[in-house]
Amino acid sequence: MKTLATFIIMILIWALIMPAAGCTSESEKHLKAGAVFQNRWEYEEAIVEYDEAIHLDPNYTEAYYSRGLAHYKLDQLERAVQDYTEAIRLDPNYAHAYYNRGLAYYKLDQLARAIQDFSEAIRLDPNYAHAYYNLGLAQYNLGHLERAIHEYSQAIHLDPDDITYYNNRGIAYFDLGRLELAIQDYSQAINLYSMYSEAYYNLGLAYKLLGEKTEAITNFELFITYSRNSELTQMVRQQIEELSK
C-alpha cells in the first residue's frame, strides 16, 4: 500500500541528445551518448559513457547526476548516493540531485536522511510536488501520520491530478480512523482514473469498517475487475463471501 513514487527526475532532455550549436567537448559527447543509452533503458552502457565523461572532466556535475540515475535504475543504491552527493558538492543548489538522493536513501530504509534530502529539494524548489509526496511517504513510514497528510496535501495543491497523492493521503486518514476523509480521497483518485484498482480496494476496506456492506462489496468487486494481483484478488473474494452472509 505504501508505494514509492517511481518518478525520477531525469535531466536528459532533448537538448542533451541533440547536437548543440558550435563545438561540443569530448566529455559532452560522452554525456549525450550516455543519455541515448539511458533513454533506451541500457543503463550499464550508459554508465560506461558517463564514466568516460567524468574521466575527461572530473567536475562534470551532470555526468555524476546522470550516472547516479543509471545506478539507481540498476538498484545500485550506494553508488547512486555517491554520485548524487558528488553532484551536490559541485552544485549545492541542485534540487533534483537532493530529491533523487532522497529516493535512494528511502529505498535503503534510511528515512531520516531521505527526509532531509526531500526537505532540501523543497527548500530549493518550493513547487516540487514529487518531493512533497515522497516526504509524505517517508513521514508515513516513520508513523508520523499528521505530517504525512500535510505533505500529501502540499503535493495535491501543486498537482491536483495525481491519483497516488490522493490514495496515499486516504491511507493516512484511514489509519487515523478518519474514514469519511479517506473515502473522499479514494473516490477522488477513482474520479481521476476509473480503473484504479488499489483505490477500489481501499474504499472497500473503509466501507467495511463503517459497516456499509453493500458499498464494500461493490468496491471489492470493482477491485477484482481491474486488479492484476491474483493473490490479493483471492483474499478479496473471501471478504466478499463473508460480507454476503
Q: Is residue 85 part of a domain?
A: yes
Domain count, the chain: 1
The confidence score (pLDDT) of residue 238 equals: 94
The mean per-residue pLDDT over the stretch 25-42 comes to: 95
Read off the CATH number of the domain in which 122 is found: 1.25.40.10
The mean per-residue pLDDT over the stretch 224-229 comes to: 94
The confidence score (pLDDT) of residue 245 equals: 84
What distance in Å separates the CA atoms of residue 111 and residue 203, rounded to the nearest whole number?
Answer: 28
The confidence score (pLDDT) of residue 20 equals: 45
Domain that holds residue 184: 23-190
pLDDT of residue 3 exceeding 80, the answer is no
Q: Is residue 216 part of a domain?
A: no
pLDDT of residue 108 exceeding 50, the answer is yes
Q: Is residue 59 part of a domain?
A: yes
The mean per-residue pLDDT over the stretch 182-202 comes to: 98
pLDDT of residue 21 exceeding 70, the answer is no
Instruction: List helix spans (H) across the chain.
Output: 14-17, 26-39, 43-56, 61-73, 77-90, 95-107, 111-124, 129-141, 145-158, 163-175, 179-192, 197-210, 213-226, 230-244
List the single range of 10-24, 30-44, 227-241 with lowest mean pLDDT.
Answer: 10-24
The confidence score (pLDDT) of residue 219 equals: 98
DSSP assignment letter at 143: T
What distance in Å separates the CA atoms of residue 29 and residue 200, rounded to the nearest whole number?
Answer: 48
What distance in Å separates the CA atoms of residue 181 and residue 58, rounded to the nearest whole number?
Answer: 51
The mean per-residue pLDDT over the stretch 98-119 comes to: 98
pLDDT band at 172 (very low <50, low <70, confident <90, very high): very high
CA distances from 150 to 86, 164, 172, 223, 245 (A): 31, 15, 10, 28, 40
List the single range of 23-27, 46-50, 114-118, 200-204 with lowest mean pLDDT.
Answer: 23-27
Q: Is residue 230 part of a domain?
A: no
pLDDT band at 22 (very low <50, low <70, confident <90, very high): very low
The mean per-residue pLDDT over the stretch 152-161 comes to: 98
pLDDT of residue 138 exceeding 80, the answer is yes
What distance in Å separates the CA atoms of residue 71 and residue 101, rounded to the nearest whole number?
Answer: 11
Q: Is residue 174 part of a domain?
A: yes
The mean per-residue pLDDT over the stretch 163-182 comes to: 98
Q: Read off the pTM.
A: 0.89
What distance in Å separates the CA atoms of residue 135 and residue 221, rounded to the nearest whole number?
Answer: 33
Three-state DSSP class for residue 31: helix
- Residue keyed to cell 493521503: 169
Q: How many degrees, rounded to 5, is the angle at CA 157 between CA 175 and CA 202? A: 30
Q: Is residue 108 part of a domain?
A: yes
Is-contact 169 152, C-beta < 8 A? yes
pLDDT of residue 18 exceeding 50, the answer is no
Q: Is residue 44 part of a domain?
A: yes
Rg of the Cα atoms in the chain: 21
pLDDT of residue 133 exceeding 80, the answer is yes
End-to-end alpha carbon distance in the chain:
28
Q: What percent of the chain has pLDDT over 70?
A: 90
The confidence score (pLDDT) of residue 4 equals: 54
**Closest by alpha carbon to 135, among 178, 165, 94?**
165
pLDDT of residue 141 exceeding 60, the answer is yes
